[in-house]
Each structure stands twice: as structure tokens, then as C-alpha cells.
Structure 1
């Protein structure tokens, strides 16, 4: 990726371009830039998540965790126009682009903020994410343990993870943390995991694989 896309203020020189997100139910042209995740194309994992996960809730609060320039959040907002969609990231450049992409698409039911700016009391009926695996296992576990407990009791998260980047061990770890997790799709080495709200106390430590 060159410079880490999970830096708050990327040092990479700006090089704006655009990519097309084409799904059976929508077509969005999205502005991207250097210093963020997958700036030259829609990441295959993101596409697989958007093509295989079930329809998001029609209403309520929905979260895109690690939103980048916004393909997941904007798809959620388009598919669930009565819902309130929040995209969070640590990358300020990505947040600014995501806001511009929402405006260009005419989607007014979505907003984007840095993760620590989100209301900690907010609870989500759905969380969708192509999580930043490359931040490292401990940081990823901390991230998930920050946000997954914010699911409503009936809420579900859908995560897409490559098999060779640890999807199967992540599934086991999530189950060990008390989040019932199952694989609902598998394509091109990617796994889509469905995660339910925590039902009991964790049986493993916070960074056990």
C-alpha cells in the first residue's frame, strides 16, 4: 500500500482519481486519493461483501467501520434510505473524500467522522466492515472490541476478511469473545463473516488468536 492508509494525516502526495462502484442495484463514481485504502479500484473484498451480504436493515443506525472513501457506507445509504448511516475512519483525507462522494451521490442519510468523534452511546443495528487487517492482530482486536459491543441486541455485523490474512482464526477469536460468528459466504479466498451481538462473557483474552 505504500504509506499506511491508517495514518490520520497521510504524508503521501495527493493524486486524485476516481473509481466506479458498479453493483446490480447501483452505480457510483467515487473520488479517491493517495494515502488511503485501495485508491485505484474497489477492493475485491469490499465488492464481495456488497454482493453477498444480505440486505441491511431498512431503518435504524448502520455503521461502516473503516469507511475509507465511502463505498460501503454509500451503498448502505442507497439501499436503506430511511436508515442513518455513519462511516468512521482514522484517515482524515479519506473522511473528507467520503463526505464529497456522499454529496455528489445526493445521499443525505450518511455522515462521516473520525472514530473518536462518534457518540460512544450510539448503538448500531448493523455494522459492515472490510476491517484493516494490516494494522496488526492486537490493534485489530482492540478495534473490534471497541465497536462490536455497540451492536443492538438484535444487531448483526458483516465482516469480509481474506483467508490468508486470518479469516478463520478471526472467526474463532470472535466466538471466544462471546460474539456468535459464522461464515456466510466464501469467494476468491475471501470469507464473509456474520457476527451477532455478544451473548456471554469472553472465554479468551483480548488478543488471543
Structure 2
């Protein structure tokens, strides 16, 4: 069965456009079949965008960027350098379109997890993740376990998840890896967890 975390999705690529108000900006996006949340922005992603810890001047990684909602929103709202990565080639194509639609610049890289990001070790102030929980715990845990290698000292890994559907185990993994984990936001069925590299 094909999922949005497939490298080359076979689902029909019929594109659709929609707009959303995110972090104070009205943004326009194009999505299509074969990518996560193709019909609009899911509540978890929206919560991550609105509540993540962020500062001007940071270098930020949108890990598993999909069609680029998080990275575009943060690039528009803050004076930051954004790197976006995804294994899904169609998602990266859409990311490029969405950066252009919204007048943003960012680096988009094809990568399964951190595999193609070795040039960025120790360089990010924040890594933002809406983990692909359908891909399984092993994939999601790796996004947490490898994060310290890519964060600066005092950099943040910020993860959104449903506490009752795997989020609590992700938070426990973050606590184990970083020695700290704080729930910084919660709305509806979603929570945003943050860990800081000491």
C-alpha cells in the first residue's frame, strides 16, 4: 500500500490550491494526491506553526516537509534561514511551487530522515517535525534519536503529535535522548513537545 512517505507516489497528481492564515500571514498553497494532508492543513501542523519556539536569525530544518506548509509559514513570519527535506519527490516539487507562490526562499533537499543532510551537522537552531506516525515507531524515533547531531547547543527539536496516539511515547523518547522534554502547546487532540540540546 502506498503512503505519503513513499519516495515516488503513484496516486494521481491532480493539484488543488487553498489558502490559510498562519502565524499572522495569509498564505497560498498547492497540494496534490500522494502527499500528506492534500486537502488542507491538518490541525497538528497548524498547532506546530502557531506555537513553535522561533527567533529571527535562526537556521531551521522542516524535517519531512511534505508540500512545505511549516517551512513556508516560518520563512514568511521570521527572518530565518529555512532548510526543508522530504523523501517524497512530488512533495518536494510542490514545496518549490509553494515557496515561489508565497515569495519565500529556502533550500529543499530530498532526504529520507537525515540521510542527505550530513552537511548540516550541528547547524540548526530548531528542527520542526510532524512525524509520519503511519510509517511506524522506528522511523519516528530515528527522527528524534538523530536530531542532536544536527542541532546547535541550546537548539530545539519540536515535535507535534497526538498524545493518545503515539505522542506520549515520542515525548518519552525525546526525554530519554535529550534529558528534557516540555509540552509547550496543546489544542484538541494534538500537542507540541520541545526538547533542548544541552
* TM-score normalized with structure 2 length: 0.91
Residues 143-187 of structure 1, C-alpha deviations (whole Å, 9 max, x = no match)? 322334311001112211012221112111221223411111111
Please tell me whether the aligned partners of residues 19 and 42 of structure 1 are also in contact (alpha carbons under 8 angstroms). Answer: no
The corresponding residue for 2:77 is 79
How many positions carry a matched residue from both structures? 194
1:38-187 matched pairs, under 5 angstroms: 38-54=37-53, 56-81=54-79, 83-108=80-105, 110-115=106-111, 116-122=115-121, 123-187=123-187
In 2, the alpha carbon distance for the partners of 1:149 and 1:178 equals 11
Alpha carbons of 1:179 and 1:151: their partners in 2 closer, same or farther (altered >3 Å)?
Answer: farther
- Distance (whole Å) between structure 2 residues aligned to residue 24 and residue 96 of structure 1: 24
Contact kept? 2:178, 2:195, Cα under 8 Å: no
| 2:178 match: secondary structure | coil
Question: What RMSD, in angstroms, separates the aligned Cα atoms of the two structures?
Answer: 1.6
Gaps of 5+ in 1: 200-209
1:31 aligned counterpart, secondary structure:
strand
Q: Equivalent residue of 2:146, what SS?
A: helix
**How far apart in 1 are the matches of 2:10 and 2:159?**
28
> 1-side partners of 2:167 and 2:190: how far apart?
8
Gaps of 5+ in 2: none
Partner of 1:202: none
User: For each residue in 1:36-77, what CA deviation from the matched residue of structure 2 results, as whole angstroms up to 9, or x when unmatched?
Assistant: 1000010110111122223x1201311111100011001111
Structure-2 residue corresponding to 1:32 = 31
Bigger Cα displacement from structure 2, 118-127 vs 42-51:
118-127
Q: Report if the CA contact (8 A) 1:32-1:40 is conserved.
A: yes
